[in-house]
């Protein structure tokens, strides 16, 4: 029988959460809730007696200082006239319920099943105001929960809540076979009806495979149907998905430049540009005998060498579509999923060192009517932020830097880039840690969370199929605590040499993880009945492709099995032996005695037909605008400082733990009072040395409206210059100290496959993608900065009826570079009154797509260009100046140009700057102040170091003025006053931007 326990704050205790809800309801939804009281309900389904329930409630759940407890009767007070109940839908992660189960076991000294859900938690909100159903529904769906994952009840509170989200599935583990001996239309319909996302050519390839006499023969011999099973079709669809096979990056592309009439065929963007650039660099490194590139592209994450003791492993990827429909769940699942990439690289079990996140949203004040299914950008931002907070903080991984970009083209699909770096010892139990050895007969062990219907077919899951007891599968909520226990266990197991190697279970579930590992040795047998389930009655194929989170697949040798199971039990991590690796050349999946799938590995991994795509480039027609003269530059600067893309991110940053582990040396905000934004993050690697890494992100999609090549090159340069800014050193092929640089490239583009009806400008979009790749190749091979991992996300369009909101083609370059001594790094804040201020690097008339033009609603034409030789020369000079510790502060120039960068450097008490642009204004005051030319910095230098500094920098440094202490920013142009304003006012405008 069900027992219901409610925990509610005592009346004299401030209801912090309730107060916040009252405030937000008023400001965002314009609903006056009056006072709000929050409470939590625990529905306990274990069979317990009255005394047990009372002990559990009073000792286990109640905090006696602040809580009242109600058992089988809920709190009621006529003061509160309406209510909303937020319960989870069946199958949605309920961590708090699981934790309650664990504490119940401790308190009652009982041995209970805590792996499946028996305690269901619900949140109840009581409102002073008598609100109508419409307002309560709005509160429920737009503030308190999300209808994709929550069940709501609202109205006048009667004192009863009956709903319990138990999963009940009518028993059906039947297996179907699929008749492919049909005409083309029917074949296409099979793909559509089964949600396989396989195109006609792919379906025909599969049809031909199963009609092949050799295939028919071995299927007969093995006792399988001639027709493929549902599970086999699902495995093929998953393995051949864009997500897993990157078919568009592997496609053959016919690229035409209509401006020059040049035409070329590109055989795979990935091979031609990304892989090739890194191979070239690897060859150069090998030749010089300094190969720190240990693993590229072939595993969950790339690996580089730190020293003879340790290696660095990291991965950045995206989680866009899930974040569009459930921002919190999408982001937290993205972070935790991305954490499992470095965790499951090579042998696995590395220590995760940091997270980094780059986010692209619609503007916070988006005022267009929302389309069905579209969430407001502010809501997406708050949900994603919260997901990153919980994903990082609860895992004990510092979120050390990131970036937020606003553009209404991201209002349909936000971009959520998650990156994670980690360190592995060079060897685990005598084996190089980045290797993935597997032998015939090794055991397949699944570790971590249980399997449910989560994520099957992801977002395409049709809502029509959902009833009140069907498990919610489209959206998943990550469980950081489950993963933390799993990660800690894995580290311990790897150190003890108990696991041979591992990989994560992400997209595609077991089908993907076992499939990829089986490729190494050549086959596997999987027994699905041994996979532990969250609830009964899943179909075999569902078990195999489910994307239930917080799972890893481990490869274990028989003789380590017992010790591994013992450790898992001690660490409260569930692990299960589910099969064996073989060298038969087949993936052999069974459920009890039934054959579920028997697929030829070669066909599975190499059978997918190649795509052919067309790209056509034509320069856009653009012009430079006329900007009014006699501008009030004080006002312009204030406007820029509070603009969406420049204003302070402090409120967001402070809600991320950026210093757990005690190794963060340059945090996102530094200086007295912690206000000043920094360029790259810097971390030390260990407590016994000052060796470290710098972490940066380069992204500037706005320039893509002018020139996709320069946008991509500019983003690459931005990531490099941020590392130079904090004191990093460019790679040197001949350097033998493992001074590694490693890039994750992440492309997020709109649908770029031409279709005359649905995507008429597809060829141009693809041409932009080609150009972005060409820039990647040029930048990478010039600097010897290799890609070690990355990802592409190809369909970032939000469709509703005839309306399509497509993201601008976006590339993020995330870079990590080794730092010799973190104590010698440089922060961006001005340090001491009287220090000399210089701008480094040439400023050009490049106001195209600038934040300055945006104030006037203009795009312009002149795109900032990367002048690679000049940049290289400057960066090397800065390196030299830093070797002599001549630079007191350094800040790179980006959005808003010189004026905003100088302003940011002054954001402490008693700081300011007195600037004379002098000759710099020869190119025009607007250009001097606001151009966003690349490869530039604002530095301050101690007067004592002036001579040495100028000798090194020569004409690349242009003297501007001095650091002052009067909280004033003065900028003159040849004696004429342009800006004379208080830095406090600038800081306050900047600080309020996102509020």
Partner 1 sequence: MKKVKALVISGYGINCEEELAAAYKLAGAESRIVHLNDIFLEKEYIHEYDILNFPGGFSFGDDLGSGKVLANKMKYKKMGSGKTLLEEIKVFLSQGKFILGICNGFQFLVKMGLLPNTKSNFDQEVTLTRNNSAKYEDRWVYLKKNPKCTTPFLTDIDIMPCPVRHGEGKLIIKDELINAEILKQNLSAFSYCDADGNITSEYPINPNGADLDCAALTNSTGQVLGMMPHPEAFLSLYNHPNWGQMKRQNPNINEDGDGLKIFRNIVNHLRDSHS
**Which residue lies nearer to partner 1 by CB, 354 or 783?**
354
Contact between 100 and partner 1 per CB under 8 A: yes
Contact between 17 and partner 1 per CB under 8 A: yes
Q: Which of residues 695-734 bind partner 1 (CB under 8 A)?
A: none
What span, in angstroms and rounded, lies between the C-alpha atoms of 988 and 647?
10
Q: Are 753 and 763 in contact (CB under 8 A)?
A: no
The binder of partner 1 chosen from 129, 239, 321, 393 (CB under 8 A): 393
**Which residue lies nearer to partner 1 by CB, 64 or 262?**
64
Which residues fall within 8 angstroms of residue 738, CB to CB, at 6 or more apart? 290, 292, 304, 305, 306, 307, 818
What span, in angstroms and rounded, lies between the C-alpha atoms of 528 and 544?
7
**Which residue lies nearer to partner 1 by CB, 452 or 727?**
727
Q: Which residues pair with 7 in a beta bridge?
A: 40, 69
CB of 606 to partner 1, least distance (A): 43
**Which residue lies nearer to partner 1 by CB, 655 or 982?**
655
Helix, strand or coil for residue 21?
A: helix
The binder of partner 1 chosen from 444, 826, 925, 960 (CB under 8 A): 826
What span, in angstroms and rounded, lies between the C-alpha atoms of 101 and 48?
12
Q: Which of residues 598-657 bind partner 1 (CB under 8 A)?
A: 653-657
In the shown chain, the binding pattern of residues 911 to 950 toward partner 1, with x for contact by CB under 8 A and - for none, equals: -------------------------------x--------
Kindly state the number of chain residues that form the binding site for partner 1, as judged by CB under 8 A: 70
* Strand 741-748 versus strand 787-793 pairing type: parallel
What span, in angstroms and rounded, lies between the C-alpha atoms of 741 and 558?
39
**Which residue lies nearer to partner 1 by CB, 499 or 653?**
653
**Which residue lies nearer to partner 1 by CB, 664 or 981?**
664
In the shown chain, the binding pattern of residues 395 to 434 toward partner 1, with x for contact by CB under 8 A and - for none, equals: xx--------------------------------------
Two tokens, residue 682? 């810097």
Contact between 822 and partner 1 per CB under 8 A: yes
Stretch that binds partner 1, among 95-103, 186-194, 288-296, 805-813 (CB under 8 A): 95-103
Q: Which of residues 197-226 bind partner 1 (CB under 8 A)?
A: none
CB of 944 to partner 1, least distance (A): 12
**Summary count for the chain: helices (H), strands (E):** 29, 41
Q: Are 206 and 228 in contact (CB under 8 A)?
A: yes
> Which candidate, 316, 950, 942, 354, places its Cα nearest to that of 692?
354
Three-state SS across 931-962?
A: CCCCCCEEEEECHHHHHHHHHHHHHHEEEEEE
What span, in angstroms and rounded, lies between the C-alpha atoms of 269 and 274?
7
The binder of partner 1 chosen from 2, 16, 217, 288 (CB under 8 A): 16
The binder of partner 1 chosen from 2, 11, 13, 271 (CB under 8 A): 13
Tell me how crowded residue 51 is: count the other CB atoms within 10 A of its CB.
Answer: 9
Contact between 827 and partner 1 per CB under 8 A: yes
CB of 665 to partner 1, least distance (A): 5
The binder of partner 1 chosen from 413, 642, 684, 818 (CB under 8 A): 684
> Which candidate, 61, 83, 44, places its Cα nearest to that of 164?
44
Contact between 669 and partner 1 per CB under 8 A: yes
Contact between 356 and partner 1 per CB under 8 A: no
The binder of partner 1 chosen from 45, 204, 250, 481 (CB under 8 A): 481
Kindly tell me the sign of the dihedral angle through the C-alpha atoms of 891, 892, 895, 897: positive
Contact between 660 and partner 1 per CB under 8 A: yes
The binder of partner 1 chosen from 11, 47, 50, 63 (CB under 8 A): 63
Measured in degrees and rounded to the nearest 5, phi and psi for residue 863 equal -80, 140
What span, in angstroms and rounded, lies between the C-alpha atoms of 256 and 265?
9
> Which candidate, 198, 362, 199, 257, places its Cα nearest to that of 766?
257
Q: What is the DSSP letter of 143?
A: I
Q: What is the DSSP letter of 533?
A: B
CB of 765 to partner 1, least distance (A): 40
Tell me how crowded residue 736 is: count the other CB atoms within 10 A of its CB.
Answer: 10
Q: Are 762 and 753 in contact (CB under 8 A)?
A: yes
CB of 827 to partner 1, least distance (A): 4
CB of 102 to partner 1, least distance (A): 6
In the shown chain, the binding pattern of residues 893 to 912 toward partner 1, with x for contact by CB under 8 A and - for none, equals: ---------------x----
**Which residue lies nearer to partner 1 by CB, 468 or 833?**
833
The binder of partner 1 chosen from 630, 687, 756, 857 (CB under 8 A): 687
Contact between 488 and partner 1 per CB under 8 A: yes
Two tokens, residue 276? 């090739």
Three-state SS across 314-356?
A: EEEEECHHHHHHCHHHHHHHHHHHHHHHHHCCCCCCCEEEEEE
* Strand 3-9 versus strand 36-44 pairing type: antiparallel
The binder of partner 1 chosen from 59, 186, 200, 536 (CB under 8 A): 59
The binder of partner 1 chosen from 84, 485, 528, 693 (CB under 8 A): 485
The binder of partner 1 chosen from 232, 389, 851, 858 (CB under 8 A): 389
Q: Are 83 and 41 in contact (CB under 8 A)?
A: no
The binder of partner 1 chosen from 52, 68, 76, 95 (CB under 8 A): 95
Stretch that binds partner 1, among 532-540, 577-585, 666-674, 943-951 (CB under 8 A): 666-674
Two tokens, residue 279? 């191979």
CB of 481 to partner 1, least distance (A): 4
What span, in angstroms and rounded, lies between the C-alpha atoms of 896 and 710?
18
Two tokens, residue 186? 């029917």
Whose tokens are 């994903």? That residue is 391
The binder of partner 1 chosen from 137, 245, 831, 873 (CB under 8 A): 831
**Which residue lies nearer to partner 1 by CB, 485 or 552?**
485
Tell me how crowded residue 647 is: count the other CB atoms within 10 A of its CB.
Answer: 20
The binder of partner 1 chosen from 605, 661, 873, 946 (CB under 8 A): 661
Contact between 233 and partner 1 per CB under 8 A: no
**Which residue lies nearer to partner 1 by CB, 184 or 566?**
566
CB of 145 to partner 1, least distance (A): 17
The binder of partner 1 chosen from 31, 61, 285, 699 (CB under 8 A): 61
The binder of partner 1 chosen from 66, 204, 431, 923 (CB under 8 A): 66
What span, in angstroms and rounded, lies between the C-alpha atoms of 714 and 934?
7
The binder of partner 1 chosen from 166, 242, 529, 659 (CB under 8 A): 659
**Which residue lies nearer to partner 1 by CB, 399 or 796?**
399
Contact between 888 and partner 1 per CB under 8 A: yes
Q: Which residues pair with 424 in a beta bridge?
A: 311
**Which residue lies nearer to partner 1 by CB, 357 or 829?**
829
Which residues fall within 8 angstroms of residue 11, CB to CB, at 6 or more apart? none
In terms of Cβ atoms closer than 10 Å to its own Cβ (0-12, 13-18, 19+), residue 280 is: middle
Q: What is the DSSP letter of 715?
A: H
Nearest 5 degrees, angle CA 172-CA 178-CA 183?
145
- Categorise residue 873: left if φ over 0, alpha if ψ from -120 to 50, beta otherwise: alpha
Q: Which of residues 553-572 bind partner 1 (CB under 8 A)?
A: 570-572
**Which residue lies nearer to partner 1 by CB, 224 or 682?**
682
Q: Which residues pair with 741 in a beta bridge?
A: 817
The binding site for partner 1 (CB under 8 A) comprises 13-14, 16-17, 19-20, 59-61, 63-66, 95-96, 98-100, 102-103, 106-107, 109, 389, 393-396, 479-481, 484-485, 488, 570-572, 653-665, 667, 669-672, 674, 684, 687, 690, 822-823, 826-827, 829, 831-832, 888-889, 908, 942
């Amino acid at each position: 029988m069900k027992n219901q326990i409610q925990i509610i704050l005592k009346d004299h205790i401030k209801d912090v959460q309730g107060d916040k809800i009252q405030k937000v309801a008023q400001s965002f939804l314009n609903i006056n809730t009056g006072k709000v009281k929050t409470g939590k309900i625990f529905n306990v389904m274990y069979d317990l007696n009255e005394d047990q329930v009372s002990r559990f409630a009073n000792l286990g759940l109640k905090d006696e200082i602040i809580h009242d407890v109600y058992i089988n009767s809920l709190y009621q007070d006529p003061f509160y006239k309406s209510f909303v109940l937020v319960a989870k839908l069946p199958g949605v992660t309920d961590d708090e319920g699981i934790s309650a189960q664990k504490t119940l076991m401790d308190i009652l000294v009982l041995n209970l099943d805590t792996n499946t859900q028996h305690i269901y938690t619900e949140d109840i909100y009581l409102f002073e105001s008598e609100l109508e159903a419409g307002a309560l529904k709005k509160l429920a769906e737009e503030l308190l929960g999300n209808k994709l994952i929550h069940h709501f009840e609202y109205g006048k509170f009667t004192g009863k809540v009956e709903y319990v989200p138990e999963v009940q599935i009518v028993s059906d583990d039947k297996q179907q076979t699929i008749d492919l001996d049909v005409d083309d239309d029917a074949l296409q319909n099979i793909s559509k009806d089964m949600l396989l996302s396989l195109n006609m050519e792919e379906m025909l390839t599969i049809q031909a495979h199963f009609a092949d006499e050799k295939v028919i023969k071995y299927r007969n011999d093995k006792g399988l149907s001639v027709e493929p099973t549902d599970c086999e079709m699902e495995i093929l669809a998953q393995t051949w998905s864009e997500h897993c096979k990157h078919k568009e990056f592997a496609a053959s592309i016919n690229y035409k430049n209509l401006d020059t009439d040049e035409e070329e065929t590109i055989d795979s963007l990935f091979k031609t540009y990304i892989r090739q650039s890194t191979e070239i660099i690897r060859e150069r490194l090998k030749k010089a005998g300094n190969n720190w590139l240990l693993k590229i592209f072939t595993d969950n994450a790339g690996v580089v060498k730190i020293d003879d003791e340790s290696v660095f492993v990291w991965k950045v990827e995206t989680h866009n579509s899930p974040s569009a429909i459930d921002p919190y769940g999408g982001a937290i699942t993205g972070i935790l999923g991305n954490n499992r990439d470095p965790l499951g690289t090579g042998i696995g079990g590395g220590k995760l060192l940091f997270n980094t996140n780059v986010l692209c949203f619609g503007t916070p004040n988006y005022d267009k009517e929302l389309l069905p299914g579209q969430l407001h950008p502010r809501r997406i931002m708050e949900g994603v932020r919260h997901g990153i907070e919980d994903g990082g903080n609860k895992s004990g991984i510092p979120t050390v830097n990131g970036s937020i970009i606003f553009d209404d083209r991201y209002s349909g699909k936000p971009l959520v880039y998650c990156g994670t770096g980690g360190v592995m010892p060079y060897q685990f139990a005598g084996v190089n840690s980045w290797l993935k050895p597997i032998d015939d007969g090794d055991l397949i062990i699944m570790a971590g969370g249980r399997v449910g219907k989560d994520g099957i077919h992801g977002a395409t899951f049709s809502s029509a199929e959902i009833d009140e007891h069907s498990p919610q599968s489209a959206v998943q909520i990550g469980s950081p605590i489950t993963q933390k226990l799993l990660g800690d266990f894995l580290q311990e197991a790897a150190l003890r040499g108990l696991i041979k190697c591992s990989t994560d279970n992400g997209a595609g579930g077991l089908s993907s993880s076992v499939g990829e590992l089986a490729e190494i040795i050549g086959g596997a047998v999987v027994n699905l009945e041994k996979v532990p389930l969250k609830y009964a009655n899943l179909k075999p194929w569902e078990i195999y492709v489910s994307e239930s989170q917080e799972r890893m697949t481990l490869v274990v040798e028989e003789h380590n099995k017992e010790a591994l199971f013992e450790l898992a039990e001690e660490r409260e991590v569930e692990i299960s032996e589910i099969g064996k690796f073989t060298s038969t050349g087949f993936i052999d999946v069974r459920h009890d005695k039934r054959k579920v799938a028997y697929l030829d590995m070669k066909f599975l991994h190499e059978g997918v037909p190649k795509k052919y795509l067309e790209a056509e480039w034509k320069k856009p027609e653009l012009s430079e605008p006329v900007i009014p003269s006699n501008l009030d530059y004080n006002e312009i600067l204030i406007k820029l400082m509070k603009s969406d893309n420049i204003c302070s991110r402090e409120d967001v940053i402070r809600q991320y733990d950026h210093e757990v582990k005690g190794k963060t040396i340059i945090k996102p905000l530094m200086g007295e009072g912690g206000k000043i934004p920094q360029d790259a993050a810097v971390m030390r690697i260990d407590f016994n040395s000052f060796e470290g890494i710098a972490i940066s992100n380069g992204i500037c999609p706005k320039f893509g409206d002018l020139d996709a090549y320069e946008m991509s090159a500019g983003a690459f340069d931005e990531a490099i210059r941020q590392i130079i800014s904090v004191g990093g050193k460019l790679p040197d092929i001949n350097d033998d100290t493992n001074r590694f640089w490693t890039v994750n490239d992440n492309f997020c583009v709109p649908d770029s496959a031409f279709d005359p009806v649905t995507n008429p400008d597809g060829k141009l979009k693809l041409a932009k993608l080609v150009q972005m790749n060409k820039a990647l190749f040029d930048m990478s091979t010039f600097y010897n900065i290799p890609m070690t991992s990355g990802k592409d996300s190809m369909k970032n369009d939000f469709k509703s009826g005839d309306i399509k909101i497509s993201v601008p083609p976006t590339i993020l370059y995330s870079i990590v570079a080794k730092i010799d001594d973190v104590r010698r790094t440089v922060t961006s804040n001005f340090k001491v009154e009287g220090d000399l201020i210089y701008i480094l690097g040439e400023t050009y008339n490049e106001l195209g797509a600038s934040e300055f033009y945006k104030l006037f609603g203009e795009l312009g034409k002149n795109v900032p260009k990367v002048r690679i030789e000049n940049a290289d020369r400057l960066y090397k000079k800065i390196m030299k100046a830093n070797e002599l510790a001549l630079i007191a502060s350094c800040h790179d120039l980006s959005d808003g140009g010189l004026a905003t960068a100088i302003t940011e450097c002054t954001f402490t008490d008693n700081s300011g700057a007195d600037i004379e642009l002098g000759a710099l204004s020869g190119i025009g005051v607007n250009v001097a102040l606001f151009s966003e030319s690349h490869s530039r910095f604002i530095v301050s230098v101690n007067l004592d170091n002036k001579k040495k500094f100028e000798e090194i920098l020569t004409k690349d440094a242009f003297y501007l003025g001095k650091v002052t202490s009067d909280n004033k920013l003065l900028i003159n142009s040849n004696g004429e006053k342009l800006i004379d304003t208080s830095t406090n006012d600038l800081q306050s405008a900047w600080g309020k931007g996102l509020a």
